[in-house]
Structure 1
Amino acid sequence: MVTGNAAAAATGTAPRRRRAAVTVASALLLVATVPLVFRAAGSDGVTPVPQLLAFLPWLLVPAGLGLVLSLAARWRPGLFWAAAVLLGLTAFVRPYGGDGPAPHGPPLARLRVLTANLEFGRATDGLLAALRRERPDLVAVQECDPERCAAALASPAVRAAYPFRILAGHGASEGSAVLSRFPLRPDGAVPGELAMPRAAVTVSGRRLRFQVAHPMPPLPGSLHAWRTELGRLRDLAASRGAEPLVMAGDFNSSQDHAAFRSVLHTGLRDSAAATGSPRTPTWPARTAPVLGAQIDHILVGDALRPRTARFLDLPGSDHRGLVADLELYAAR
């Protein structure tokens, strides 16, 4: 009698385990499938799709677990489902935004550009160290608070190294700054809840437009602002004509967001992607470069060629900095 009961229990346990495996596999595959469908459709959708799209390469993990569980449960539909999702994700993991027509002839000048989000000014000391170490020519600063960041940038040492500057916005998150070794003048701004100033910089006799990018993040309550502000950056890029343009900053979006790809579709090149680092995470700094998303970018127009791109740790910030070496040409 005991042996019979044990056999019956074992017989009942196997189907329950299989059902549990199928249920978990379905949930994992659904998590990966929904953002993949929107990515394939060229849409960012609604929450939680934009947030998941930022980490699209990491969706290979739940998809892979879904494949393993489907195999263990001998669930044939799940095997086909998982295989399709894995193939789709793999196709979209490839680099995006590094292609574009390369300029020809000798360069007019070589530029080093740095972008840094200071997280409410907490990484001001890290920025100052990066300025001394990297000696960039143009700097885009986001989340430059008035007490720490703005005050530090007004110091005699920084003013001597960067005599030309723009400070914009108020508050810890809204403030932005442009620093330059070259003469500049204010050239307007892209409207947004966070300051996005623009400078007209004269380099080797040629005018270059330098735009700070800092659209709202794609949080559930700010998706409309995020899309709208990225659209304004796209419109600026589309209207640039033959004038060189550098757009640098915290875009709060990755290559897997349709709103960001629309900026690239105007012909701008992503410096990191163009120099072999299309997926190196910049946020969150606590887990980068192992885990995260590349949401900080330096985009350049036709008359500029990226040569190198490197990522910097900024103690105190939840972002990593990005520095790119560029060549400026007389024409495309």
Structure 2
Amino acid sequence: MALVLGAALAVLPQVDGMGGSAVPVMQALLPLLCCAAILVVFGFAVFRRWVAALILLLATVMAAVPAAVHPPRGQVAAAIPQGQDRHTFAVLSLNVELGQADVEATARKIRESRPVAVAITEATEGWVGRLMKEPDMKELLPHRTGTLPRSGSTGTAIIAAVPLTEESSIWPAGGSRFEQRVAVLTPPKGKPVRLAAVHTLPPTSGGAQQWRTDLRELGQWQRSHRDLPLVMAGDFNASQAHPAFREAAEGLADSASDAGVIPLPTWPSGATVPAFTQIDHLLTAQLETRSWATFEIAGTDHRGVGAVLAGE
């Protein structure tokens, strides 16, 4: 029994390309599965089944290591500017769940963080309009990307404190895919920074193959857009436990590594079930992470993520 359970657990974060949604969903549940496995290990130990306990413990470690958030190494680490004289700036990302997130709480978070930009997924024109009516918002974030849908989950926006130039989408909007906004931010000092606001299709409800395609295209896009420092922020609908996400993020630094190797969950938020998976990310190239954290906003099922970054 321990051998079968251990083998299944150890292999789970390595499996990709299989049809259907079952495998991606199980991979998203990997943190919970690892916790359950540890309880079983203790159970084996109580009954002095030491070999079974050791097998399952080793399998749990093998499953957890790929799903951990690792600090940048090698070529990624070498590409990040180091030193205390770099200029710093904050970036926030939030899925506002069909434009239902509390705009007052969002505005309060923006006033606290003073971000250079905010990436917003599931945004609607009405939600952004309500946000801009909150005190200080027009002054703090006077720049934005183009018009949004009136309703639904497809809209994505970038609002910024500095001038921005919107670029072509990572892929054309339409069909079952969400908008992927891209803009080059021009700060008052330092290099321009390219920000991509990301929202992939979830792997559930028959969308697993499109989800894999979305992540593959994100990976291809980010590897071909390294002429400027890069930030990819948003709802990837994938965690470190998914091989497709790890491949898409290859060569990028995950800002969450600042908070440790155990991924802090971002979904679901405000639900009966506690948050158990990190599917909202802030990935960077040619930038150094000074701090990273999640935050909660009422009215959305995602926690937001924010980071203070440093660049040339």
What's the TM-score, normalizing by structure 1? 0.79
Whole-angstrom distance in 2 between the partners of 1:143 and 1:151: 14
State yes or no: 1:198 paired with 2:182.
Answer: yes
SS of the residue 1:49 aligns to:
helix
Matches within 5 A, 1:94-243: 94-96=68-70, 98-99=72-73, 100-101=77-78, 102-105=80-83, 107-125=85-103, 126-147=105-126, 149-155=127-133, 157-170=136-149, 171-191=151-171, 193-203=177-187, 204=189, 206-243=191-228
State yes or no: 1:51 paired with 2:35.
Answer: no
* Structure 2 unpaired stretches of 5+: none
The Cα RMSD (Å) is 2.9
SS of the residue 1:206 aligns to:
coil
The structural deviation recorded for 1:275 is: 4.5
Between Structure 1 and Structure 2, how many residues are aligned? 299
Distance change >3 Å, CA 97–CA 43, structure 1 → 2: farther
The structural deviation recorded for 1:143 is: 1.0
SS of the residue 2:193 aligns to:
strand
Identical aligned pairs, as a percentage? 29
Whole-angstrom distance in 2 between the partners of 1:327 and 1:73: 52
Whole-angstrom distance in 1 between the partners of 2:261 and 2:185: 27
Query: Given residue 37 of structure 2, which amino acid in structure 1 is its aligned partner?
Result: A
Whole-angstrom distance in 2 between the partners of 1:173 and 1:77: 49
Whole-angstrom distance in 1 between the partners of 2:72 and 2:203: 24
SS of the residue 2:186 aligns to:
strand
Contact 1:114 1:321 in 2 (8 A): yes
The structural deviation recorded for 1:289 is: 11
Contact 1:98 1:271 in 2 (8 A): no
Contact 1:66 1:78 in 2 (8 A): no
Query: Given residue 43 of structure 1, which amino acid in structure 2 is its aligned partner?
Result: D
Whole-angstrom distance in 2 between the partners of 1:143 and 1:180: 17
The structural deviation recorded for 1:74 is: 8.2
Q: What is the aligned partner in structure 2 of residue 271 from structure 1? A: 255
Bigger fraction of residues in helix: 1
Contact 1:282 1:321 in 2 (8 A): yes
The structural deviation recorded for 1:218 is: 1.4
Contact 1:96 1:255 in 2 (8 A): no
Whole-angstrom distance in 1 between the partners of 2:141 and 2:70: 33
Contact 2:12 2:63 in 1 (8 A): no
Contact 1:97 1:274 in 2 (8 A): yes
The structural deviation recorded for 1:224 is: 1.3
- Deviations along 1:69-120, whole A, 9 cap, x unmatched? 6668888985565344234234445433544223135645211100011111
Query: Given residue 82 of structure 1, which amino acid in structure 2 is its aligned partner?
Result: L
Q: What is the aligned partner in structure 2 of residue 318 from structure 1? A: 301
Distance change >3 Å, CA 251–CA 318, structure 1 → 2: same
The structural deviation recorded for 1:207 is: 2.2
Query: Given residue 69 of structure 2, which amino acid in structure 1 is its aligned partner?
Result: P
The structural deviation recorded for 1:186 is: 0.8
User: Which protein, 1 or 2, shows the higher relative CO under an 8 Å CA cutoff with sep ≥ 6?
Assistant: 2
Contact 1:38 1:44 in 2 (8 A): no
Contact 2:167 2:183 in 1 (8 A): yes
The structural deviation recorded for 1:146 is: 2.9
Whole-angstrom distance in 1 between the partners of 2:170 and 2:186: 20
Distance change >3 Å, CA 197–CA 87, structure 1 → 2: closer
Distance change >3 Å, CA 76–CA 280, structure 1 → 2: closer
Whole-angstrom distance in 1 between the partners of 2:43 and 2:266: 32
Q: What is the aligned partner in structure 2 of residue 10 from structure 1? A: none
State yes or no: 1:256 paired with 2:241.
Answer: yes
Whole-angstrom distance in 1 between the partners of 2:109 and 2:96: 12
What's the TM-score, normalizing by structure 2? 0.84
Q: What is the aligned partner in structure 2 of residue 8 from structure 1? A: none
Distance change >3 Å, CA 269–CA 120, structure 1 → 2: same
The structural deviation recorded for 1:276 is: 2.8
Contact 1:270 1:299 in 2 (8 A): yes
* Structure 1 unpaired stretches of 5+: 1-21
SS of the residue 1:310 aligns to:
strand
